[in-house]
Amino acid sequence: MKFLLIATALNLQLLYPSETVCNQALEKLKEQDPKAICIPAGLPLPETDADRFFQGFFDMIMKLDKNNQNILTK
Task: Note whether 16 and 38 are same-domain residues.
Answer: yes
Mean pLDDT to the nearest integer, 39-43: 72
Quote the number of domains for the chain: 2
Q: Which domain holds residue 18?
A: 1-43
Task: Note whether 38 and 51 are same-domain residues.
Answer: no
* 3-class DSSP assignment, residue 40: coil
Task: Note whether 13 and 31 are same-domain residues.
Answer: yes
Task: Note whether 32 and 52 are same-domain residues.
Answer: no
Task: Note whether 66 and 52 are same-domain residues.
Answer: yes
Which residue type occupies 73?
Answer: T
Contacts with 36 (C-beta within 8 Å, 6 or more apart), sequence order:
26, 29, 30
Mean pLDDT to the nearest integer, 20-48: 82
End-to-end CA distance of the chain: 58
**pLDDT for the residue 55:** 93
Mean pLDDT to the nearest integer, 5-20: 73
**pLDDT for the residue 64:** 94
- Please, are residues 41 and 15 in contact by the beta-carbon 8 Å criterion? yes
pTM: 0.41
For residue 44, pLDDT over 80 is answered with: no
Task: Note whether 39 and 56 are same-domain residues.
Answer: no
Task: Note whether 54 and 69 are same-domain residues.
Answer: yes
Mean pLDDT to the nearest integer, 44-71: 89
